Copies of this chain bind each other. A is one copy, B any other.
Amino acid sequence: MKKKSVVIGDIAKQLNVSKTTISFIINGKAKEKRISDELEDKVMRVVDELGYVPSPLAKSLRTGKTNIIGLIVEDISNPFFALIARKIEERANNNGYKLFYCSSENDTKKTSELIRLFRQRQLDGYIITPAAGTEKDINILLNENLPVVLFDRYLPDIEANYVIVDNFGSTYNAINHFVEQGCKSIAFISLDSEQTQMKERLIGYKKAISDNNLKHIIKKIAFRGNTTNYTEEIRSFLKTETHVDAVFFATNYLAISGLEAIVSLQKKIPDDIGVIAFDDHDLFRLFAPSITAIAQPIEQISAHLLDIILNSINDSANIQIARKMVLPANLIIRRSSLKKERIIKPE
């Protein structure tokens, strides 16, 4: 039943021309190899007629190229990563590349396996949100001069391309915005994580707090997967720390659990407690009240990631110089952080 597909030999036989010549023509080297126009036309006609498509598998085995870029994200069901994946996919397609994506669940072993798998499949480029402890695997790629770019976070011990946002600055600004709104007890709820983006968000918070002579109120929660519900932890934290009048959530899923906790405690946003989330969400603007968020520039991040990969592929000489990009992230001020109108201004 399985109809055997047309192979290069079929064309060669039918026309009494060598496979070499067919291959040259298919790959656009007809001019370069000075193949006569008539032969070229004749071959192309038969190729079209028989619907011949070179087997990418055989091609890859021979050339070592696949025209596929691999993307490893922490979790494809996290909207931030899903949007990034979509954008990169779109751009990759427009450039003749396919994108394959997988989720690492932020697990060292899974990430290693995926990297190895992609490498075995000879993918042409690697876009990775690195889990801690994957330095070794990434170094292997680097040593082989393969195009690699990290994003969302980076690994301090590795000289690799990366694209991240200004986690420090954007958090610093967000906390200052709280201060301007008159908040005095600003909590920072985060994961107990050594990842660079989390650390930088924390440093941004601390700096803003010190600059304003306020007190740190930091709650770190142990990471238990990003589909986990962290409501209970946040609820009991907020229940104890009753003086807290504003809270900054360091990730989008913490923010969702946090909102649930706040609702269940019957606290009013923003009057009882102001809220800012890191990462925007399609429903935040519709929430009652709408939720202030730091929005990462998804379009730009995606564009830079793919550009870096494509440049590396096309110019492996330049591959050695690590490109490190830090993009600004935008604080979108909505109702959840606005207390000012209720505060009696001095003067």
Contacts and interface: CB of A to CB of B under 8 A. Distances in A.
A3 B98 contact: no
A56 interface: yes
A184 to B, nearest CB: 26
6 contacts: A57-B121, A77-B79, A79-B79, A100-B101, A256-B282, A260-B285
Work out how many copies of this chain go into the complex: 2
Contact of A145 (B1, B256, B287): B1
Contact of A57 (B60, B259, B286): B60
Interface in A267-287: 281-283, 285-287
Interface residues of A, number: 44
Interface of A: 1-3, 53, 55-58, 60-61, 75-77, 79, 82-83, 85-86, 89, 98-103, 116-117, 120-122, 143-145, 256, 259-260, 263, 281-283, 285-288
Contact of A283 (B55, B121, B281): B281
B53 A57 contact: no
A285 B285 CA distance: 16
A98 B117 contact: yes
A57 B76 CA distance: 26
B77 A86 contact: yes
Contacts of A102: 89, 98-100
Given A1-B143, A61-B61, A77-B83, A101 B98 contact: no
A337 to B, nearest CB: 17
A104 to B, nearest CB: 11
